[in-house]
Amino acid sequence: MPECHQHFFEQRGWTADYFLSQAEKIGSYSRQYMQNILQERRFTEQTYNACRGLLRLSKDYSPERMEAACKRALQGDHYSYRIIHNILSNNLDKQSAEPQQGDLFSMPDHKNLRGPEAYE
Rounded to whole angstroms, how far apart are CA atoms 120 and 118?
6
> Looking at the predicted structure, is the pLDDT value of residue 65 above 90?
yes
Rounded to whole angstroms, how far apart are CA atoms 79 and 40?
7
Rounded to whole angstroms, how far apart are CA atoms 52 and 17?
13
Q: What is the mean pLDDT of the chain?
A: 81
Residue range 59-73: mean pLDDT, rounded: 92
- Any idea where the domains of the chain sit in the sequence? 3-94
Phi, psi of 98 (to 5 degrees): -80, 135
By CB atoms closer than 10 A (0-12, 13-18, 19+), residue 73 is buried
pLDDT digits over 31-59, tens only? 999 999 988 877 766 788 888 899 999 99
The whole-number pLDDT of residue 102 equals: 58
Picking from 29, 89, 107, the residue whose alpha carbon sits closest to that of residue 64 is 29
Share of the chain above pLDDT 70, in %: 76
